[in-house]
Structure 1
């Protein structure tokens, strides 16, 4: 709802960090950031006025849930707070385990690398606090949450050093909808329950926010082939321009308690790899790969023997560069792993500008001030032949849409690009009443509706909702049978006529022949609309012909080319559930 990049007021970034003039994500002037070419001026976080006002994250502690983090890095150490933990060593020492364990250090630097110290670059929130948790190497974050008293009366969740923003730059690439009983996955329940409690009750009720990367599966799919090992799979027609991975395939990304972020590049377009979908809340800079076009410049494991510098010399920022004589930085950090900490840093700035804001206030500010990036994007139309050989067209990814409450939304970008100056301005003078937060019970709908093969008409089912809740998010669970879930598009239509694509077609790989079993999806597309009225779910089979695909083994063996055979059977939507998250 904010202005375009070209209309942003220009303010300089203060000097004091030798690499900051190349950090396009902070201020994009078209600089090349040590790659072959630069991007488009103005496509950035738009934070220079916020920094000029001295709002830099003071009083807000951020948590990096990742791998190892070099907390003693010269550009991080001054912002480190007590409370970090390494699950591998059961100690507070988060030192990276090896030279390749540089991811968490790069994430931390994007959030809170120190400003005005004469070295390296600058974080989005360069005075925010930092703690880290080594989760990626162990996976027992839920144990930490329990051991730190999330379910005990004695834990002081209002502690100054307890994080207000948790960054999660990780995820999985799934080949098909998961089929599992949520009640039989206690670790997932524990994690979501802990996230909910921290979000809603910490910091004397002001709460916290969990930021989550959307994933990097737009163009290729990580895949394990029986007898062939792991590798990458893609379709020969580049999947009709549609994403191989949808963010709603990963269960944790359909949790309301995760604020999911996609990535855009220095040209102000979706990063080539970024996973997308209706549960994306906002988009932030992730860049590309740092060779032809810019990636993100951030902290690396210090020294010339560890980290990305000795292993990956794809650009000129490496050992011996006069701006980085000690090899403590890199210019190849990218992925939605970079978009998430850019958002985490932005949230720290918003909270620092007005510490009284609640977690819901911050989410509302982000949704209200996000910039309509890539405004002329036409969307993606899928053309296919049905069983009778007749051409069909399906609007698989719509262009930017404005919902009935006036919020702009796009499958690629959510509400749009994070605009820090606009968000901080709104935060400083914020006095809105967000009403009483509520989550409605799940409403079950028995459908038994046919999903016709290769037909844009699809199969649909409707339900009447009596609740007058104002929507902040909608969750759906779908159960049904289909012999190729990759071909199925799933959309939800509100009483006001807003149409949200919950599952893009041609998502995943050749698997998924067992249909859907309580498959959960989430959409922010209906933000601000009223729940009351008729809601309609529609499932559309978009496949009418065989498709060639390629499997590229990671072991360097020759590519394997094969054909995904068209299924010619109808599917069935057996039942579905819906619930609303919002306020009265």
Structure 2
């Protein structure tokens, strides 16, 4: 996690306030008491200002004290350990030692938001592989108020453990707290860079810190109840406080960071190296991301370096795109794919969080798995099968969230895929909600920062580095004496993918266009005359000759028919023709068309096929 170099730069968390929402903290612990902050503390269970835990024979209420030591245990006192932010102010909220109601959660999440900077939380709904639960009305308001007005409008920072339900094949996207856009969700890695047995994989996880693993692997050393120490703190419960400590170091480097700035900095600085998982992929902006680790291991030094000269990201924008084609049924062992097209509502161009809000009924919820594919081709697993979930009513407007398309352009086709497994059901409705910015979220760092904007072999586009340019852009290499990078340049408007800027450089076409002769994209609504122009441009004289013969034959036939009609008119006389038209009825009308309508019909075709 590269903490010691950040310490060497002078960052200790001084001036930053962190609180632990848990079962209380032992405020008089010798490794905590000098950093204890009563303004960041409260006992919600007993309604007083003292967060001291309730002691019992089994020391059940040790969790909060252990988490507090990870953040702010004092350095160089020969007691226990040293916290990541060992000069930060630390408080605690005792709120788990009783009924955890919506009101209790809301009161805890909204404690003193103009004083507290970071709320570290290591709890959530039951990790039993069958629960789907999240914040209710009051807690949700505490989140939204916190990011809106907390820290003087910069936003409270909520750091959340991603969950320990791995053994029960749980999904952290069924936990509405860690699945929220307002929380910085943190997973765990063992000391050997492996996925722990308790870890839950999901698309809402942003990053990772170390924690416990299997037999023989080290656990976390921290403070414990009764002024003691422990070497056995475990799970994602231990990962979130480590992340909160790193966030405190970054806030010391720049106290003006917003809650969204911090998430951007985590994404940019996290390291995927030496973390083993089979599902690592590269998203549309060239970043490695995993459902087990998010964007990788948090890097304290990289975060403080980025924070030092950071410019606040633009205002958050939201775009909602509903699926308008009605409900869709699905049978057992089938895949249902449904898509929506979005332009970001003219507001969301550069993505941060993406949500698929799903209403779905099914005979067995645990059989269902769901994926979401972005226009850049990034596929997020929103839900994995959960064998213990036998619930038969499905999901009621559940917001599945992914961070995997962070930085991608929002415009284009998004596809939701539902694999039914051994269940049947119906997708009642779904809508895509994209969050992000209209303009690029950040500019190229100043030269004095050591964090490069693009690496060797990457391509630059409006503040982002891509391993492969996104759709609608092509790669232009530029090589200097010291580096070989490139830029992403726009394709012709008809191309979705291309190898140059010209209309004849198309490789793949946009929806509504067809690739012709492997170079041009022809609009499917173009008339025959438009197609003929393309044929002429290609100088296929054989086709031209054949078409000329056909058109000539048709024209000759029309002339012959016209002459016959003239002869008939002259033979039967004008009056008989009028009677036929008025009394006997026009034979074209009896087939649903009149002369006038027939020509109007072809006129409409020509008008609708105007060149684009």
Match of 1:47 in 2: 3
The structure carrying a bigger helix percent of its residues is 2
Is the Cα contact below 8 Å between 1:178 and 1:519 reproduced in 2?
no
* Offset at residue 141 of structure 1 (A): 7.6
Listed as ranges, the matches of 1:55-74 within 5 Å are 55-74=11-30
Matched, 1:165 2:125: no
CA distance in 2, matches of 1:400, 1:195: 31
2:54 to 84, 87, 97: 97
1:438 to 311, 317, 320: 317
CA distance in 2, matches of 1:410, 1:149: 29
* Offset at residue 452 of structure 1 (A): 3.8
**TM-score, with length taken from structure 2:** 0.67
1:332 to 217, 232, 237: 232
CA distance in 1, matches of 2:249, 2:364: 45
CA distance in 2, matches of 1:512, 1:261: 28
Match of 1:263 in 2: 188
1:513 to 392, 396, 401: 392
Match of 2:482 in 1: none
Match of 2:75 in 1: 115
**C-alpha root-mean-square deviation of aligned residues, in Å?**
2.3
Q: 1:573 to 1:157 in 2, by over 3 A?
A: closer
* Offset at residue 49 of structure 1 (A): 0.7
Is the Cα contact below 8 Å between 1:350 and 1:424 reproduced in 2?
yes
CA distance in 2, matches of 1:209, 1:146: 15
CA distance in 1, matches of 2:353, 2:386: 22
SS in 1 for 2:265: helix
Q: 1:444 to 1:461 in 2, by over 3 A?
A: closer
Match of 2:263 in 1: 363
Q: 1:134 to 1:576 in 2, by over 3 A?
A: same
Is the Cα contact below 8 Å between 2:188 and 2:235 reproduced in 1?
yes
Is the Cα contact below 8 Å between 2:109 and 2:119 reproduced in 1?
no
Is the Cα contact below 8 Å between 1:58 and 1:352 reproduced in 2?
yes
- What does the per-residue CA deviation read over 1:401-444, in whole Å, with 9 as the maximum and x for residues that have no partner? 1111222210001111111111111112323x522212234635
Match of 1:85 in 2: 42
Is the Cα contact below 8 Å between 1:439 and 1:581 reproduced in 2?
yes
SS in 1 for 2:60: coil
Tell me which structure has the larger Cα radius of gyration: 2
CA distance in 2, matches of 1:123, 1:141: 31
Matched, 1:208 2:156: yes
Match of 1:313 in 2: none
* Offset at residue 480 of structure 1 (A): 2.0
Matched, 1:176 2:30: no
* Offset at residue 292 of structure 1 (A): 2.2
* Offset at residue 146 of structure 1 (A): 6.8
Listed as ranges, the matches of 1:423-462 within 5 Å are 423-431=303-311, 433-441=312-320, 443-455=322-334, 458-462=335-339
CA distance in 1, matches of 2:182, 2:109: 19
Is the Cα contact below 8 Å between 1:449 and 1:460 reproduced in 2?
no
* Offset at residue 448 of structure 1 (A): 2.5
Matched, 1:199 2:147: yes
Matched, 1:138 2:15: no
Q: 1:400 to 1:301 in 2, by over 3 A?
A: same
In the alignment, structure 1 segments of 5+ residues that lack a partner are: 1-44, 221-243, 304-327, 380-398, 543-566
- What does the per-residue CA deviation read over 1:510-535, in whole Å, with 9 as the maximum and x for residues that have no partner? 51222222222110011011222111
Structure with the larger RCO, 1 or 2 (CA within 8 Å, 6+ apart): 1
- What does the per-residue CA deviation read over 1:161-180, in whole Å, with 9 as the maximum and x for residues that have no partner? x111101100122543649x
Matched, 1:299 2:223: yes
